[in-house]
Chain A
Amino acid sequence: MDMLLLLFTFVLAIFLGFELISKVPATLHTPLMSGSNAISGITIVGALLAAGATDGWLRVVLGTAAVAFATINVIGGYLVTDRMLAMFKSKEGGRS
């Protein structure tokens, strides 16, 4: 049953994703990619659970590497997206 609920969540989230993303204008497609890239770093949650465990050194090693890679994604992704979006300015000279 648990699995079915997760599948249900998955399907709904895919539909929600389609709705949300189709509203993003073409001009923001690059920040969209880097920003969604940062979101895919959410796998860090799984990585933390593995790296913080004490059952078996290999799991911890794999987990630590996963934490490092996912953190690159999260930190780098959000920072670079912010850098890009800060450059999008309106005619009035206001910062976005």
Chain B
Amino acid sequence: MSTAVQLSYIAASVLFIFGLKMLSSPATARRGNMISAIGMLLAVVATLVSREIISYQYIILGILIGGSIGAIAAIRVPMTSMPEFVALFNGFGGIASLLVGWAEYQKGLSAGEEIPFATALPIFLAVLIGGVTFTGSVLAYAKLAERISGKPVLFKGQQIVNGVIIVLILVLGAMFVIRPETNYGSFLVIVALAGVLGVLSTIPIGGADMPVVISLLNSYSGLAACAAGFVILNTVLIVSGSLVGASGIILTSIMCKAMNRSLANVLFSGLGTGGAKISAGVQGEAKPITADDAYYVLEAASDVVFVPGYGMAVAQAQHVVRELGEILQNNGAEVRYAIHPVAGRMPGHMNVLLAEANVPYEQLVEMDDINPIIESVDVAIVIGANDVVNPAARDDESSAIYGMPIINVDHAKTVFVLKRSLASGFAGVDNPLFFKDNTRMLFGDAKTSVQALVGEFKE
């Protein structure tokens, strides 16, 4: 490969790095994304003009097909569907790397030369990681888009089946890596088994644990690209693949920490399948409140915090929530939106929805920033969130979610919980917050309830 092409790859890597660096602030993030895209364009153009490319017709075909699908999907997808969109796209990255690995294997075979170990091993890894990423992502997409049930699927001996598949993959992988030329059969079985493994490792994971899975699959898609880079000895693939891999790993660990669970626990336990535990102390009467009475409390409040959860996305309530927020602000109150790291179905899900509804990003605050000052908050309004504000996680050692960091809304002067019923959250754990003295339940659909409040203010 010529020096000019190599230099372009270095420049592309630098642009990716700058692009990611500019994501450190919402003010520069959009330009950062543009710079990253320019890096990608540079890498593609440099490859296209390199002497290794002989025919262009199939390239054009592939780009036309992929480009139109990608563009249409990106323009049409509603913000509430972002988790399943990103999940599916992780999968496309994975399968692309799988196919690149396979194509290089094919190249080695048709050249009739010996395929060295240093090429065979990354081919194996690209195919394995790419395959797991692809089917795992498609399944995660199906769960998030509710094409299939989002409930964890657990069956007897699941771990054993997974174990057997992993051992099989390793054995076949060893055979393939040692003699790639004569092991086409093993290679095809590895491809198939990688796909099966992707499915089996995603089905036991339930809806609210999806942020972890998407982050992990994000990381895999990067690592698959990285492995493909080792196959074709290309630095830009290795650098950008590692950046993505690291990004996914960081997000995964943030999500796990925010649930106080280990990665292994998220991946294998299938939380939410057990029956609801009845823990002592969760008794008393929930005190309902009408929109009319809630209005008087809010009217007098000078510090209001909204705590959104997945329920806000389901009810599509973000726009009317912002409207209420603005009204309160014009009424003289300070308004903030406190967002738990695992609220929603993917990292940052709530932030994007609120940004879509025109909430300025200064008003979006993190859990660690709101908790120290929560006691001075007059009203905390919980919208469609449950486990992330459950005081049992803090106080009740017997609770299934004990130890998970929460937003301490129960320490606010008054808490409004907007909820359809008293049903427990995803984790199947009762929420003592509903029975606290300073809690008032505003029953009903989140959107309708907030609309009613907005209506009260307008009267």
Assess A26 versus B244: contact at CB under 8 Å? Given A40-B221, A76-B74.
no
Q: Within 8 Å CB of A67, what residues of B?
A: 58-59, 62-63, 66
Q: Within 8 Å CB of B63, what residues of A?
A: 67-68, 71
Q: Within 8 Å CB of B268, what residues of A?
A: none
With most chain A CB atoms within 10 A of its CB, the pick from B55, B59, B103, B251 is: B103
**Cross-chain contact B44 with A48 (CB below 8 angstroms):** yes
CA distance A83 to B70 in the complex (A): 13
Assess A26 versus B348: contact at CB under 8 Å? Given A13-B242, A13-B243, A38-B40.
yes
Minimum CB–CB distance for B31 against chain A, Å: 9
Instruction: Please choose the segment from B22-30, B144-152, B154-162, B202-210 that sits at the chain A interface, where 4 or more of its residues have CB less than 8 A away.
Output: B22-30
**Cross-chain contact B96 with A56 (CB below 8 angstroms):** no
Assess A58 versus B106: contact at CB under 8 Å? Given A35-B19, A37-B218.
yes
**Cross-chain contact B59 with A36 (CB below 8 angstroms):** no
Q: Within 8 Å CB of A28, what residues of B?
A: 23, 26, 29, 348, 351
Question: Within the complex, which residue of B58, B70, B228, B251 is in contact with A29, where a contact is CB–CB below 8 Å?
Answer: B251
Question: Within the complex, which residue of B74, B232, B349 is in contact with A30, where a contact is CB–CB below 8 Å?
Answer: B349
Interface size (B, Cβ < 8 Å)? 114
**Cross-chain contact B100 with A47 (CB below 8 angstroms):** yes
Report if B187 contacts A (CB, 8 A).
no
Report if B247 contacts A (CB, 8 A).
yes
Within 8 A of A (CB), among B15-59: 16-17, 19-21, 23-30, 33-34, 36-37, 40, 43-44, 47-48, 52-56, 58-59
CA distance A68 to B66 in the complex (A): 4
Minimum CB–CB distance for A57 against chain B, Å: 9
**Cross-chain contact B70 with A20 (CB below 8 angstroms):** no
Report if B341 contacts A (CB, 8 A).
yes
**Cross-chain contact A42 with B236 (CB below 8 angstroms):** yes
**Cross-chain contact B23 with A35 (CB below 8 angstroms):** yes
**Cross-chain contact A45 with B234 (CB below 8 angstroms):** yes
**Cross-chain contact A76 with B69 (CB below 8 angstroms):** yes
Question: Within the complex, which residue of B28, B62, B77, B226 is in contact with A71, where a contact is CB–CB below 8 Å?
Answer: B62
**Cross-chain contact A45 with B89 (CB below 8 angstroms):** no
Question: Within the complex, which residue of B74, B351, B360 is in contact with A83, where a contact is CB–CB below 8 Å?
Answer: B74
- Residue ranges of B at the interface with A (Cβ–Cβ < 8 Å): 16-17, 19-21, 23-30, 33-34, 36-37, 40, 43-44, 47-48, 52-56, 58-59, 61-63, 65-67, 69-71, 73-75, 77, 79, 82, 85-86, 89-90, 92-93, 95-97, 99-100, 102-104, 106-107, 109-111, 118, 214-215, 218, 221-222, 224-226, 228-251, 254, 339, 341, 346-349, 351-352, 355-356, 358, 360-364, 366
A-B contact pairs, 12 of them (CB 8 A): A26-B348, A29-B351, A30-B351, A41-B40, A42-B225, A42-B241, A46-B228, A55-B110, A76-B74, A79-B71, A80-B77, A83-B74
**Further 20 A-B residue pairs, CB within 8 A, beyond A13-B238, A40-B221, A62-B102:** A27-B348, A29-B347, A36-B218, A36-B243, A40-B240, A42-B40, A45-B47, A45-B234, A46-B97, A49-B52, A59-B107, A68-B62, A71-B70, A72-B67, A76-B89, A77-B74, A78-B37, A83-B74, A88-B26, A96-B29
